[in-house]
Chain A
Amino acid sequence: MDENGFTEWVAGHQRQLLRSAYLLTGDLHRAQDLVQEALVKVALRWSRLHDGNPTAYARTIIVRDNISWWRRHRDVPSPERADVASASSDPETALVVQRSLARLAPRQRAVLVLRHFDDLTERETAEVLGVTVGTVKSTNAAALARLREGAPELLDLIGESR
């Protein structure tokens, strides 16, 4: 295995993956576990992945493992002030955002994070989730609507939704 190549790739992508996982879970420890597990799986397949798109593979593992976890445990945590404070330069705003995200179903949350944080296209988001582009569109709309209804304070911060 080309460990140097893997290490370089991780150095360039780990922070974005962890930030994304934190938004998916609202729990820094679980986010780190998800990213760690994804990186191990990438490492185990590095010989086949390094010429392709290991980042897309890792992101897909993170998103789907998180949904699997949620299905088993229904343990979407309440945002922890300690996590929020250590993860953001604006903890008060971050707490509002995390509480708002916690109201979403995991797939809605995943679409929101992939589309609006990772800036994936609708097609790329669909590939990560293994759904159709149409499902991504409808899920995104439903997520924003749910935020509009249940978390107006978030939309106050945003001003308008996409």
Chain B
Amino acid sequence: MRTFWALIRRDVMLGVRASGGAALAAAFFALIVVLVPFGLGPETGTLRAVAPGIFWIAALLATLLGLERMLQPDAEDGTLDLLRLSPLPLELAALAKIAAHWLTSGFIISLLAPALAPLLSLATSAIPILALSLLLGTPGLSAIGAVGAALGTSVQRGGMVLAILVLPLNIPFLIFGASAVAAAQNGDNPAQALIFLTACSLLALVVGPIAAAAALRLNEE
């Protein structure tokens, strides 16, 4: 278990210190949100209508950023060999990597989103649901991303391959996440969408580490 925590701590440290880590994910997320009013014009009604979708699209893209750093450098510098020989099962190692990726992407974005809500005129009543939906959904995005990252270790600089692999699987999160926020904004009950979002996330957190570990074992040959 000590190995599990040590791996999370090390990956978070790397995520915070590396360029292209946590700060970049947060900045990228904020930039997308800031750019939208320039593209769509400042009308409150338009912005309010698209805000839930924009926030979730921004979250999806921002969480993609750190994925290339998740396993590729470890495969290149030999850390992955040590992980495979470690007493920690590879599935749990993948889970630790997912947790560290989430802490340096999805978690930060969830905290940042409420501060950006006024830029898109999101209804005040929907702000808590925005943060909650991101907190519930983004762990699943990291888990799915881990599978893509694991498959990507066999491809040098597989950044685009990674995005193409991972993005379609993220669509359910986008649908349920955005509709939960939209429901809250329109005065409807967001509970149902949030439940589906949580279900997607939990499923991804169970399947993701297993699939990622299997992909890492396959890659060696």
A binds B: no
